[in-house]
Amino acid sequence: MKLRIALVLLLAAGALLPAQTNDEPSLDVGGLMDAAQQFAQDNLDPDVLQALQDVDRDKVEDFLKNYQAYLQGDYVLDVGQLKDGANAILPLLDAHEETQPYAAWLRARLDYFAAADELKAITPAPQPIPGTNAPPRAANPSFAAEQEIWIKKVSPRPWPEAAKKFVPELKAIFAAEGVPVELVWLAEVESGFDARARSPAGAVGMFQLMPTTAKNLGLSLFPFDQRKQPDPAAHAAAKYLRHLHETFGDWRLAVAAYNSGEGTVQRLLKRYDAKSYDRIATHLPAETQMYVPKVEATIEHREGAALEKLKAA
């Protein structure tokens, strides 16, 4: 429990740090890390304390400062800068039972950082802007470029071991809810089918449902969190996906809203006078820009089905 408190402090701090602008005061991330380190010294067993000290402080600070800014910002090509920090944190989370739910969450997202690096490598260098000294910034990769990267990354992957157990029962649940059964593969993208997965922001379970969303869908969080139970969580996720598809009339937009929120998608559609995912793709949060083609590539690989052409069961 003490270890979980310390690492929740570290990870939650990273998830809550906003993107910086020139108009905002700088955040004292060093002070935050010092406070966490002092907590560790005061509360943790010596072996656990040594494990914390073995993690590169600079990499952890960098990860905490930039995770929220990069993934919730709209620029994909900077996301790869989080790779070293994530790789430094993951073994620590994996080493202790109390923090393995956070490891499951992070592990399912490691390929975002690698994909961003690959996209950056193939993106043409930006041209200087005439009449300005501002450094040029390459445009976000197109949806087509993202699709190509994710097909390449996903296609060699075997079924996750847990999928062999859960996919048949999850498909039956999605079918009962009137949702295309192929969408059960969101659980691979969200958690690797690990029902323990927990994000720093509070999403839990195979389908990474946030507390408010889960409650609105009829799940109980106390005394037992039903988001950790595959069957209730699958019913809730399927209901939510059905609602999103009814709202947007398009599975790509529905999946984007599942990741970034209905409000985000609605605002972008209105801002760009758009009706399709392609029209807003490069303006979505960076994580969502990668999430949708990753989901699409995963469903294509596992089921031979195209996301935008899925039919209800």
Tell me the pLDDT band of 46, cut-offs 50, 70 and 90. Answer: low
Instruction: Give the bridge partners for 204, in sequence order.
Output: 198, 209
Domain region containing 295: 162-309
Asked if 179 and 266 sit in the same domain, the reply is yes
Task: Report if residue 73 sits inside a domain.
Answer: yes
Task: Report if residue 152 sits inside a domain.
Answer: no
Instruction: Supply the pLDDT for residue 5.
Output: 42
Asked if 206 and 303 sit in the same domain, the reply is yes
Provide the domain count of the chain: 2
SS3 letters across the chain: CHHHHHHHHHHHHHHHCCCCCCCCCCCCHHHHHHHHHHHHHHHCCHHHHHHHHCCCHHHHHHHHHHHHHHHHCCCHHHHHHHHHHHHHHHHHHHCCHHHHHHHHHHHCCHHHHHHHHHHHHHCCCCCCCCCCCCCCCCCCCCHHHHHHHHHHHHCCCCCCHHHHHHHHHHHHHHHHCCCCHHHHHHHHHHHCCCCCCECCCCCECCCCECHHHHHHCCCCCCCCCHHHCHHHHHHHHHHHHHHHHHHHCCHHHHHHHHHHCHHHHHHHHHHCCCCCHHHHHHHCCHHHHHHHHHHHHHHHHHHCCCHHHCCCC
Residue 296 annotated as catalytic? no
Asked if 193 and 303 sit in the same domain, the reply is yes
- Percent of the chain surpassing pLDDT 70: 77
Which segment of 57-61, 180-184, 190-194, 292-296 scores lowest on mean pLDDT? 57-61
Task: Report if residue 283 sits inside a domain.
Answer: yes
On whether the CB atoms of residues 199 and 208 are closer than 8 A, the answer is yes
Averaged pLDDT, 164-169: 96
Task: Report if residue 258 sits inside a domain.
Answer: yes
Asked if 211 and 86 sit in the same domain, the reply is no
Last residue of a domain, one of 91, 119, 147: 119
Last residue of a domain, one of 97, 119, 141: 119
Asked if 15 and 94 sit in the same domain, the reply is yes
Last residue of a domain, one of 119, 153, 179: 119
Report the alpha-carbon distance of residue 261 to residue 305 in Å, rounded. 25
**pLDDT per residue as tens digits for the range 202-255:** 899 999 999 999 999 999 999 999 999 999 999 999 999 999 999 999 999 999
Averaged pLDDT, 19-30: 36
Instruction: Supply the pLDDT for residue 14.
Output: 41
**pLDDT per residue as tens digits for the range 102-113:** 889 999 999 999
Asked if 86 and 176 sit in the same domain, the reply is no
Asked if 296 and 205 sit in the same domain, the reply is yes
Report the alpha-carbon distance of residue 134 to residue 150 in Å, rounded. 32
Task: Report if residue 125 sits inside a domain.
Answer: no
Report the alpha-carbon distance of residue 37 to residue 55 in Å, rounded. 12
Q: What are phi and psi of 209, to 5 degrees?
A: -90, 135
Asked if 176 and 268 sit in the same domain, the reply is yes
**pLDDT per residue as tens digits for the range 281-291:** 999 999 999 99
Average pLDDT over the chain reads 83
Averaged pLDDT, 264-275: 97
Asked if 167 and 305 sit in the same domain, the reply is yes
Asked if 204 and 283 sit in the same domain, the reply is yes
Instruction: Give the bridge partners for 209, in sequence order.
Output: 204
Read off the CATH number of the domain in which 245 is found. Answer: 1.10.530.10
On whether the CB atoms of residues 200 and 102 are closer than 8 A, the answer is yes
Asked whether residue 40 carries a pLDDT value surpassing 50, the answer given is no
Tell me the pLDDT band of 21, cut-offs 50, 70 and 90. Answer: very low
Task: Report if residue 155 sits inside a domain.
Answer: no
Tell me the pLDDT band of 301, cut-offs 50, 70 and 90. Answer: very high
Which one from 177, 182, 190, 300 is the annotated catalytic residue? 190
